[in-house]
Copies of this chain bind each other. A is one copy, B any other.
């Protein structure tokens, strides 16, 4: 039966033309981001002092933050590599060290890369790749539209896997230059699996990546699946860096009020606001409700009720902090995110529909805050 399924899968893939063809002619020149002379992995706060080249937290965090957080920081969620080339063929090859997929998230989302091109006009285009998952993962972009005037490419790295090494190939005599590192202060986002990118079908559709494109602003993903808990250690690390705005979207991992009573949560949020604002007393901050507790999202009463309570709790914390005198605090409500029965894969994790809703709600609020 396995043989039958394999045949079936092959018929499926071939018929749709998805199987990567060998790109042997002309030979490819491979560029390794780890050997670049500048910082080419963007979407993170630390470029040096890392345990592993693609990490999202610095080596100095080892022993400070919990092991689970440190392990999840090996996942390249939300990071991306920017480069310039006029090549019409681009290939990516890399290895990862975790499992390729989850039951509710495909390999293209967990372990795949995703390539976008920004036109001179600022408009974003998606570059479709042919992928092959194996011991080495391969993405080929074989016939890039030469009529589009590309300012730069942005390659999103895997959302839920750990890149061991990666190389970007272009045909020989086609140059590839790494883009100049982003220098603007980023929007920093701290949160849970939803923020890390579960369960986008591909990396570019994680809501933080959609948002980064739409705002044209560097954006840092500190999403830690199941472990985004508004912890002092993470807040201290975030506070080291200048930011344009900080999002605190941890409630989905704090919705158990027995484990995290409201007083404890208020303490954590208050610490976050005070600490992050030490060097910038008016830095805009967004606190976010739990997107999945709205009526009509699903019919699981127990689950939904818990999420609704989480939203009420963070809204109360927001009100309490405003009452204490904190300014430029903002609440992103579940209603503004607007999840419905088609928005999640499992009642918690947005599918691509939910990702789009999440990104749009943040985009509207952030534009209002930054552009007012």
Residues in B neighbouring A1, C-beta threshold 8 A: 97-98
- Tell yes or no: A38 within 8 A of B by CB: no
* Residues from 217 to 235 in A contacting B, C-beta threshold 8 Å: 225-227
Residues in B neighbouring A341, C-beta threshold 8 A: 116, 124-126
Interface contact B346-A99, CB-CB below 8 Å: no
- Tell yes or no: A205 within 8 A of B by CB: yes
Residues in B neighbouring A72, C-beta threshold 8 A: 8
Partner of A143, one of B100, B107, B300: B300
Interface contact B142-A300, CB-CB below 8 Å: yes
Interface contact B353-A128, CB-CB below 8 Å: no
- Tell yes or no: A272 within 8 A of B by CB: no
A219 to chain B, nearest CB (A): 17
Q: Bound complex: CA of A5 vs CA of B17, how far in Å?
A: 32
Residues in B neighbouring A97, C-beta threshold 8 A: 1, 5
A239 to chain B, nearest CB (A): 25
Most buried by B among A102, A198, A199, A352: A352
- Tell yes or no: A349 within 8 A of B by CB: yes
Interface contact B126-A298, CB-CB below 8 Å: yes
A170 to chain B, nearest CB (A): 15
Interface contact B227-A11, CB-CB below 8 Å: yes
- Knowing A349-B16, A353-B352, say if A102 contacts B98 (CB, 8 Å): no
* Residues from 46 to 101 in A contacting B, C-beta threshold 8 Å: 68, 71-72, 97-101
A139 to chain B, nearest CB (A): 11
Of all chain B residues, the one with the shortest Cβ separation from A10 is B226
- Tell yes or no: A12 within 8 A of B by CB: yes
Residues in B neighbouring A197, C-beta threshold 8 A: none
- Tell yes or no: A302 within 8 A of B by CB: yes
- Tell yes or no: A334 within 8 A of B by CB: no
- Tell yes or no: A208 within 8 A of B by CB: no
A202 to chain B, nearest CB (A): 6
1/0 per residue, CB under 8 A from B, across A291-332: the answer is 000001111111110000000000000000000000000000
- Tell yes or no: A4 within 8 A of B by CB: yes
Interface contact A8-B128, CB-CB below 8 Å: no
Residues in B neighbouring A121, C-beta threshold 8 A: none
Q: Bound complex: CA of A297 vs CA of B127, how far in Å?
A: 9
Of all chain B residues, the one with the shortest Cβ separation from A115 is B299
* Residues from 1 to 30 in A contacting B, C-beta threshold 8 Å: 1-2, 4-5, 8-9, 11-12, 14-18
Q: Bound complex: CA of A297 vs CA of B347, how far in Å?
A: 29
* Residues from 240 to 264 in A contacting B, C-beta threshold 8 Å: 252-253
Interface contact B202-A345, CB-CB below 8 Å: yes
Extra pairs beyond A16-B252, A18-B348 (12, CB < 8 Å): A11-B227, A12-B225, A15-B226, A15-B253, A101-B103, A103-B133, A125-B296, A127-B300, A128-B347, A210-B342, A352-B352, A353-B356
A binding-site residues for B, Cβ under 8 Å: 1-2, 4-5, 8-9, 11-12, 14-18, 68, 71-72, 97-108, 116-117, 124-129, 131, 133, 141-148, 193, 198-199, 201-202, 205, 210, 225-227, 252-253, 296-304, 341-342, 344-349, 351-353, 356
- 6 pairs of residues in contact across A and B, judged by CB atoms under 8 Å: A8-B71, A15-B193, A104-B107, A144-B299, A201-B351, A202-B351
